[in-house]
Amino acid sequence: MRNFVIRGNLCWSESSDSIRLVPRGYLVCEEGRCAGVFETLPECYVNLPLTDYGDALIIPGLTDLHLHAPQFSFRGLGMDMELLDWLNTYTFPEESKYADLAYADRAYTIFADHLRRSATTRAAVFGTIHVPATELLMDKMEQSGLVSYIGKVNMDRNSPEYLCETGAAASLADTERWICETREKYANTMPILTPRFVPSCTDELLQGLGRLAERYHLPVQSHLSENFGEIAWVQELCPGTKFYGEAYDRYGLFGGGIPCIMAHCVHSGEEETELMRKNGVFIAHSPLSNTNLASGVAPVSKYLNRGLNVALASDIAGGESENLFASMAAAIRASKLRWRLLDQEVKPLTVDQAFYLGTLGGGRFFGKVGAFEKDYEFDAVVIDDTTLDHPQELTLRARLERCLYLADDRNLAAKYVRGKQVF
């Protein structure tokens, strides 16, 4: 069914500071795109099939701009360490298991099923260094109905022997083969270049990935300025750089012509921030992860005010939940503590800003995605909030606000991606 209408209480971000509400509005889908929002259905659409969701809320699908599929297996575990010890103790041993395709199949089946049932419609996902398991993950994500970028991870140094590629040349050859096998294979699943982070990639590897990004017009995702120990280590490893981001930028892996996601950016300094703004880098803000691993709190409202691209991310399994509503609430909460305890110059996030981060903020990485504007891709989530019951009258705005704090997949009545109903 390509063309149809759904009806309900429509809510979407017009900007990072304003949410538009259309009670009992009509949302028209034509050829997978939004043809418009209407208070009264125009004559030309009255013959289209209509699904009326009654008093439910309808919001754009949510975008998770950074998460690790192989880490879903240990979500909620191992939050007693900081980043580098956490990687060595919990993450790397688990990721090594994905050399075994039978294990990967079991784990990725669970992962893709949870994402399918969540409010997430778009995602940028890390796999592992293993090509067969990453291709299996891509198959499963394609079947899930979501639109996603999936990365085969690159790591050729400072990694345990059991999870280290045998040099830059081998890593690049594997990566190029994987790109060629997958870049035209799917309708909704695309490869993305994924150097894990500077400590696990030699200069030769980063340089080669920069060339692949250009040759195949591929986007890039990685980690940046997450943790103090990590940042000090990068400074040691790259003595010629003034700041962490420069280690990516000198090989063309930091935005500019090439779309780029950098997860975290908790401790980015002035120069790094300015280069991200200039290059249009997307910051994947991961408040659950940044608090669980005691990394810190990113100055998100400062980034927004300066016009940087900022999105929301679960960073599974640094973050424990794929439910992005939980990340919205966590983003607001963390920003309040940052403001109270650290820096009164950077204001706490508002509900409008948190909602924006999870919808339009990340959707923009995928093009016209994340809002109910004309020609935007038709990604929508229908929220039935009747289990969040209350004795008093609540405005639509108040009901949406409560969803940020309280909703999860049990409250979802339907989900559409590119005009196709997922459930």
Site residues (vs Fe ion, CB under 5 A) = 263, 315
CA distance 297 to 388: 30
Distance of closest approach, residue 71 Cβ to ligand GUN, in angstroms: 6
Instruction: Determine if 418 is a binding residue for ligand GUN (CB under 6 A).
Output: no
Instruction: Determine if 154 is a binding residue for ligand GUN (CB under 6 A).
Output: no
Helix (H) / strand (E) containing 144 = helix 131-144
Instruction: Determine if 315 is a binding residue for ligand GUN (CB under 6 A).
Output: yes
Instruction: Determine if 78 is a binding residue for ligand GUN (CB under 6 A).
Output: no
Instruction: Determine if 267 is a binding residue for ligand GUN (CB under 6 A).
Output: no
Residue 360's nearest CA partner among 144, 65, 145, 125 is 65
* Residue carrying the six token digits 């996603």: 148
Instruction: Determine if 68 is a binding residue for ligand GUN (CB under 6 A).
Output: yes
Nearer to ligand GUN, 27 or 263 (CB): 263
- The correct pick among 152, 196, 338, 364 for binding ligand GUN (CB under 6 A) is 196
Instruction: Determine if 94 is a binding residue for ligand GUN (CB under 6 A).
Output: no
Q: Is 111 exposed, middle or buried (0-12, 13-18, 19+ CB in 10 A)?
A: buried
Helix (H) / strand (E) containing 220 = strand 220-224
Distance of closest approach, residue 229 Cβ to ligand GUN, in angstroms: 11
Residue 246 touches which of Fe ion, ligand GUN, none (CB < 5 to 8 A by kind)? none
- The correct pick among 289, 292, 327, 359 for binding ligand GUN (CB under 6 A) is 289
The residue number with the shortest CB distance to ligand GUN is 318
Q: Is 162 helix (H, G, I), strand (E, B) or coil?
A: helix
Residue 197 touches which of Fe ion, ligand GUN, none (CB < 5 to 8 A by kind)? ligand GUN
Residue 138's nearest CA partner among 150, 152, 121, 154 is 150
Residue 196 touches which of ligand GUN, Fe ion, none (CB < 5 to 8 A by kind)? ligand GUN
Instruction: Determine if 318 is a binding residue for ligand GUN (CB under 6 A).
Output: yes
Residue 304 touches which of Fe ion, ligand GUN, none (CB < 5 to 8 A by kind)? none
Q: Is 171 helix (H, G, I), strand (E, B) or coil?
A: helix
Which two three-digit tokens encode residue 376?
Answer: 């935007």
| Beta strand ranges found along 40-92 (DSSP E) | 50-60, 62-68
Torsion of CA 297, 302, 306, 309, to 10 degrees: 30
Scanning 83-91, 109-117, 302-310, 367-375 for contacts with ligand GUN by CB under 6 A, the matching segment is: 83-91
Instruction: Determine if 91 is a binding residue for ligand GUN (CB under 6 A).
Output: yes
| Beta strand ranges found along 16-49 (DSSP E) | 18-30, 33-38
Distance of closest approach, residue 261 Cβ to ligand GUN, in angstroms: 13
Distance of closest approach, residue 196 Cβ to Fe ion, in angstroms: 9
Instruction: Determine if 291 is a binding residue for ligand GUN (CB under 6 A).
Output: no
* Cβ atoms of residues 188 and 232 within 8 Å: no
Helix (H) / strand (E) containing 153 = strand 153-154
Distance of closest approach, residue 262 Cβ to ligand GUN, in angstroms: 11
Distance of closest approach, residue 183 Cβ to ligand GUN, in angstroms: 24
Distance of closest approach, residue 349 Cβ to ligand GUN, in angstroms: 20
Task: Tell me the longest C-alpha to C-alpha distance in the chain.
Answer: 66
- The correct pick among 64, 226, 272, 320 for binding ligand GUN (CB under 6 A) is 226
Looking at residue 239, its amino acid is P
Instruction: Determine if 223 is a binding residue for ligand GUN (CB under 6 A).
Output: yes
- The correct pick among 197, 243, 303, 416 for binding ligand GUN (CB under 6 A) is 197
CA distance 207 to 249: 10
CA distance 41 to 28: 9
Helical segments of 159-261, H only: 168-182, 203-216, 228-237, 246-249
Residue 122 touches which of ligand GUN, Fe ion, none (CB < 5 to 8 A by kind)? none
**Treating both helix axes as pointing N-terminal to C-terminal, what angle do 324-341 and 396-406 enclose, rounded to 10 degrees?**
90
Residues binding ligand GUN (CB under 6 A): 68, 83, 87, 91, 196-197, 223, 226, 289, 315, 318
